[in-house]
Chain A
Amino acid sequence: MKNTQQTQPLISIKDLVAKYGDKTILDGITVDLLPNEITVILGGSGCGKTTLLKNILRLYEPYSGTLRYWGQDVLSMNEEEFSFVLKRIGMLFQNGALLNSISIYENVSIPLEQHTKLNREVIDRIIRVKLNLVKLSHAIHLFPSELSGGMKKRAALARALALDPEILFCDEPSAGLDPLTSAALDELLLDLKSQLNMSIVIVTHELASIHRIADKIIFLDSGKMLFYGTLQAAKEAGIPQIDTFFEVGKF
């Protein structure tokens, strides 16, 4: 615990409350996420994991609380200031969210064309590399509607990685993937972390995957954060909900 106090937190969330209308989904979330770590958000279906991600990214404005990236308060930023933060972040949505009217190649090229002044050849190369990382080189000219569910996920990951984000958010990246592809995806995430110093926040239900990649876990239950810490500590904490989560998942 001591050395974590020395590093500045990457994302610092304090008393975050998230609501849809009058319905409170998350209540009093307080946590500091550290750089160069993979943080896994856990919790039952519908407990607010996606909501937490969307609030951290200000896709939904948090109802109250503070939110800091790299020590900077982002809730007080206007759209333009926050866009500088967003350019350093990649997000993989739960259902991919690829633009359906354009090909995979063009989907990945959007951020590169909009946010950089690179020339065509360099962009072309980056797109091919990113698609190769997610093992989709063969699908480069296909359209999203021509891909399987898992392929869409991977294409969306390539798009999220387009600008080499410093933080990558993933909402259930391995849902819909077979165990082998899922393991390869975990490898990729670990590579991104170790080789590129990327920090990753990820929602997943796959126990195998959690064991492979998690540095820290956040456990959500009925709107509250029950636990934040390492996987080992979570198992030893003696919190009944967490114990059942790992017990039932073991089969």
Chain B
Amino acid sequence: MGKPVKNPSKTSLAPLVQVQGDALILSGELIFSTVPAFGEQTSKILKKEKPVMLDISGVQRIDSSGVAYLEELQLALQSRKAPKAKEPKPGIFLLKGINDNTRPVLETFSSLKLPDIPMAEHISFFEGIGSGLVNGFKAFGESLVIAADVFFWSFYGLGNRSGQRKGSFVQQGVALGVQALPIVALLSFIIGFILSLQSAVQLRNFGANIFIADLLAVTMVREMGPMLTAIIVAGRSGSAIASEIATMQVTEEIDALKMMAINPVRYVVVPKFHAISVVMPILVAFSILVGELGGLLIAIGYLDLSLESFVNRTIEILTLKDLVVSMAKSIWFAWVIVVIGSYYGFQVKGGAEGVGKATTASVVASIFAVILFDALFSLLYL
């Protein structure tokens, strides 16, 4: 055992393959580091000669790779001898010269008596499309079930706080809302600023400077405010919800809750649902205000409007309907994000890897859903 540690290949005897009569004689050490060399030598020899036996009396040391290699070699010799017999008989059948060094290893690692193992199934292209579609519909159905669960317990939970994590409403409100405030503010400001700048150039050509207020008010209130906020919240909070639930699922925490007779949806999701329903409209209102601020800079600095005329015009153009639709949108988006996050969280399969996949999938799905619903709202309440 006291071999030097470095370069173990140098310590092993050089592999040697010879032919004598009808036997292929292998000698040296038949181990992980030398088997490839044996393979090269043998395949060269087999091109010319036709041995039918293997003689391994010269092999001092063998390990599982050597055993596996000998078996492959035996099958190769066998199929050359009788090419028609597809399945060679199992058993050590072409070996001679097994000695006390090699016997125990050969016995331990022989695979010839193992049952054949079917290869992994392959799914054809069309099968893949088909099962994808079926799974898609199933997922939609299942997410409706989760949605129903979430909505039921959330409205039920308004009056009855039991079964929810204690003190989590405020904590969730802070996590979902307050911490998102800076990024929402920054992005809304930039969007408001850029939108106004782009329109301002065009509007000035027509001398229609004051219409900047109309444009910005309608876009920010009806589209950009709710959608921008929803996309940020989907990325921050939707993913957090999905990964939290998914982690709880793979570590059996959800099962533990169930065993304590606690409804996991009620315990984990409902506080988030309540918190996000309150926080989201506030975030959206904030986003609209900051976006307007960005536009105001352009209006005053580039279009020479006065603060008063900009504000007056904005108030004039906005209707109650605009505001209601905007708030309705924001609450609806919030719910969509929670439901999709929970759905992917509860659906998680596999271990830590599954958590990552679930999180990514939930973000993609909720951003997609937000944009889709935004389009629907715009079509319905033009």
Residues of chain A whose beta carbon lies under 8 Å from any beta carbon of chain B? 8, 10, 35-36, 69-72, 81, 84-85, 87-88, 100-101, 103, 105, 115-119, 121-123, 125-126, 128-130, 132-133, 137, 140-141, 143-145, 163-164, 166, 191-192, 194-197
Whether the Cβ atoms of A119 and B39 lie closer than 8 Å is: yes
B62 to chain A, nearest CB (A): 10
Residues of chain B whose beta carbon lies under 8 Å from any beta carbon of chain A? 1-8, 31-33, 35-36, 39, 63-65, 67-69, 71-72, 104-105, 107-111, 114-115, 117, 119-120, 250, 349-354
Give Cα A116 to B32, complex, Å.
7
Q: B2: which A residues are within 8 A, CB to CB?
A: 8, 70-71
Given contacts A10-B1, A117-B36, contact A137 B349 (CB under 8 A): no
Whether the Cβ atoms of B350 and A122 lie closer than 8 Å is: no
Given contacts A71-B2, A118-B32, contact A128 B117 (CB under 8 A): yes
Q: B64: which A residues are within 8 A, CB to CB?
A: 126, 129-130, 164
Whether the Cβ atoms of B354 and A145 lie closer than 8 Å is: yes
Closest to B72 in A: A121
Whether the Cβ atoms of B354 and A195 lie closer than 8 Å is: no
Residue in contact with B117 in the complex, picked from A101, A133, A137, A192, CB distance below 8 Å:
A137
Q: B65: which A residues are within 8 A, CB to CB?
A: 116, 118, 122, 126, 164
Give Cα A147 to B18, complex, Å.
46
Among the interface residues B2, B5, B72, B108, which one has the most CB atoms of the partner chain A within 10 A?
B5
Give Cα A67 to B71, complex, Å.
40
Q: A166: which B residues are within 8 A, CB to CB?
A: 1
Closest to A7 in B: B1
Residue in contact with A129 in the complex, picked from B114, B119, B120, CB distance below 8 Å:
B114
Given contacts A125-B68, A129-B64, A129-B68, contact A137 B114 (CB under 8 A): yes
B190 to chain A, nearest CB (A): 38
Whether the Cβ atoms of B1 and A100 lie closer than 8 Å is: no
Residue in contact with B68 in the complex, picked from A117, A126, A143, A163, CB distance below 8 Å:
A126
Whether the Cβ atoms of A145 and B110 lie closer than 8 Å is: no
Give Cα A165 to B1, complex, Å.
12
A78 to chain B, nearest CB (A): 12
Q: Other than A164-B63, A191-B108, give 16 A-B pairs with Cβ distance below 8 A.
A: A8-B1, A70-B4, A70-B5, A84-B5, A87-B8, A116-B35, A118-B69, A121-B72, A122-B35, A125-B72, A125-B111, A129-B68, A130-B64, A140-B117, A163-B32, A164-B65
Give Cα A100 to B33, complex, Å.
29
Q: A140: which B residues are within 8 A, CB to CB?
A: 117
The 3 lowest CB-CB distance pairs between A and B, nearest first, are A195-B104, A125-B68, A100-B351
Q: B8: which A residues are within 8 A, CB to CB?
A: 84, 87-88
Offer 5 A-B interface pairs, CB within 8 angstroms, sorted by A. A69-B5, A71-B2, A100-B352, A130-B64, A164-B31
Closest to B103 in A: A195
